[in-house]
Structure 1
Amino acid sequence: MILLYGADTAEKIKEEISGMLSELKGYTPTLGIVRIGSNPSDISYEKGAVKKMESLSLNTKVFEFDENISSDDFIDEFKKINEDDEIDGILLFRPLPEHIDEKKVIEVLDERKDLDGISYKNIAKVFAGDESGFAPCTAKAVIKILESNNIELEGKNVVVLGRSMVIGKPVAMLAIQKNATVTLCHSKTADLKKVCKNADILIVAIGRAKMINDDYIGEDAVVIDVGINFFEGKLCGDVDLENVKNAAMATPVPKGVGAVTTSVLAQHLVISALKKRLY
């Protein structure tokens, strides 16, 4: 089985970004990271994002708010960030605390700065096949890994396990744009193992540590594991990769999809800056 490491794809994205930056003629894009509270997973991703931006000579501003901030006060502060001309793109950590009106926050967000594809306009564009919008970074990272490893989507039977708006649904739409035949599965899917076993490409985002084994994987399938879990104190995916023999190729966790997501975020930031200069 060939392991598809994210670092290889990230390097190719870096080359693409380098070409885009030359078009900006010295202008340095700035990412605004917006976080409420200090959730460890948010902080971990934030550190990775800041490190990625620094490696590409991009700027980052972190806006941290107390978890007890009122909904109205946060929306007022978010509006200021959204309207700041020095901020070319925004990454908003979600879910927001329950007392924050997330719907109103998303409505404030300018879709041109919405790098992670959470605004309603960007979501609509993804589902309409309009590539002018930003898709969620992790969903886009899945497609980037397949493309950079010359894994053709056209005509392939793609099964997506998980139907969230962060991964499952958008990655299904992106695969359809590439002319794949897509089956979107979830916990209520009948004969789930049988459906998954028929996949040429199996994209797993179910959120259960090491749930997927050879019972779900067809011979010579490509398996993309988007899961991030902790099992017995160690980071792992949704796929029990150590006990998988059927797959021809698979992404590991860690060092798989997650390694590409921040690169996609950086590329979206540069695209946003380029578009702004064309307004």
Structure 2
Amino acid sequence: MTATIIDGKKISSELLDKLREEVRALTEAGAKPGLAVVLVGEDPASQVYVRNKEKACVDLGIYSEVHRLAADTPQDELIGLIRLLNASADVHGILVQKPLPAHIDEKAVIGAIAVEKDVDGFHPISVGNLLIGDDGFLPCTPAGVIEMLRATNLSVDGKRVAVIGRSNIVGKPMAALLIRENATVTVCHSRTANLPEVTREADVIVAAIGKPKFVTADFVKPGAVVIDVGVNRLEDGKLAGDVDFDAVKEVASAITPVPGGVGRMTIAMLMKNTVEAARKAAAVSAR
């Protein structure tokens, strides 16, 4: 058995095509969506991500601002910029690219972003809304995983799901979203005893641990669905996920590739959140 490849490129393209029409309609109604991205420092991976987000905005017709700040920018100056963006009528979504330099308090920066512009979904209020099931912006990568599962008719309703990783960016919100979808979720991490035995009980595995090719075939129950969130740069310059793709595809029923999988969905969901923020702002101003 060789796994079906879940094509993130195709799924994200279909989503972006729908968003393009929504952006056109909002723009014609005088509510052109706008996204501001703030990059502090010169982290190479972050620069690539920011360029990709900027490109996606241009492609969809979303107004885009990119603020590139020096690595030694004081925290007060960064928060001052965020406050200006909070007040800008042209900007509906604000994203501060992470990681931030060590001298900057990430929590303070995230907390400074207006909740209605928190298209990254990391503000404490957004996180609280996620956990209690209220309306709010969802973190883009976990939301992208759910979108992929829906697009390929892979329901997790009643299924056992193992999430490998407990980060605030992916692991924890991923578990919360899966619970919303009526999955029975086990969150695994570096301290989980007998990890392969735990994950072999799962119908679906979501790998988000940040270690290249960590999940091998012996982690996977035959016929399980494997979602690889990891993006790791190998010594030869190639990208690899957290899953040993070549080995696991012979055991799983469906699997996401790296590249061409979840990463594509992350930017698509950021665009979706930005469009939604613009729609909500237009509705408020129309009252």
Asked whether 1:69 is paired with 2:70, we answer no
Q: 3-state DSSP class of the match of 1:60?
A: strand
1:180 to 2:183 alignment: yes
Q: Could you tell me which runs of 5 or more consecutive residues in structure 2 were left unpaired when the two chains were aligned.
A: none
Per-residue deviation, 1:59: 1.7
Structure 2 partner of 1:8:
10
63-72 or 17-26, which deviates more? 17-26
User: Is contact 1:129–1:173 with CA below 8 Å preserved after alignment?
Assistant: no
Alignment partner of 2:95 out of 86, 91, 98: 91
3-state SS, counterpart of residue 167 of structure 2:
coil
Q: Indicate the percent of aligned positions where both proteins have the same amino acid.
A: 37
Amino acid in the other structure paired with 2:47: I
Aligned letter for 2:205? Answer: L
**Aligned 8 A contact 2:23 2:62 in 1:** no
Q: Which amino acid aligns with 1:265?
A: L
Indicate whether 1:164 and 2:167 are aligned: yes
> SS at the partner of 2:226?
strand
Secondary structure in 2 matching 1:63: strand
Q: Does 1:241 find its partner at 2:245?
A: yes
Aligned-residue CA RMSD (Å) = 1.3
Aligned partners of 1:210 and 1:238 also within 8 Å: yes
Tell me how far apart the structure 2 counterparts of residues 61 and 19 of structure 1 sit (CA, whole Å): 21
Amino acid at match of 2:58: E
CA contact (8 A) 2:116 2:277 kept: yes
Aligned pair 1:78/2:82, yes or no? yes
The equivalent residue for 1:21 is: 23
CA distance in 2 between counterparts of 1:94 and 1:106 reads: 10
Give the conservation status (yes or no) of the 8 Å contact 1:129–1:174.
no
* CA–CA distance in structure 2, aligned partners of residues 20 and 136 of structure 1: 21
SS at match of 2:19: helix
- 1:224 is the counterpart of 2:192: no
2:114 corresponds to: 110
Q: CA deviation at 1:277?
A: 0.8
Partners of 1:6 and 1:260 within 8 A in 2: yes
Distance in 2 (alpha carbons) for counterparts of 1:101 and 1:247: 41
> What TM-score, normalized by structure 1, do the two folds share?
0.96
Match runs of 1:115-130 below 5 Å:
115-130=119-134
2:266 aligned partner? 261
Q: Judge conservation of contact 1:111–1:121 (CA < 8 Å) in 2.
A: yes
Instruction: State how far apart, in whole Å, the 2-side matches of 1:103 and 1:18 are.
Output: 33
Displacement of 1:77 after TM fit?
1.9
Query: Displacement of 1:91 after TM fit?
Result: 1.2
Unaligned stretches of 5+ in structure 1?
A: none
Alignment counterpart, residue 50 of structure 2, candidates 24, 30, 46: 46
1:49 maps to a residue whose letter is K
Distance of 1:105 and 1:15 partners within structure 2: 32
1:139 matched to which residue of 2? 142
In structure 1, how many angstroms separate the alpha carbons of the residues matched to 2:64 and 2:24? 19
* 2:144–2:265 CA contact under 8 A, matched in 1: yes
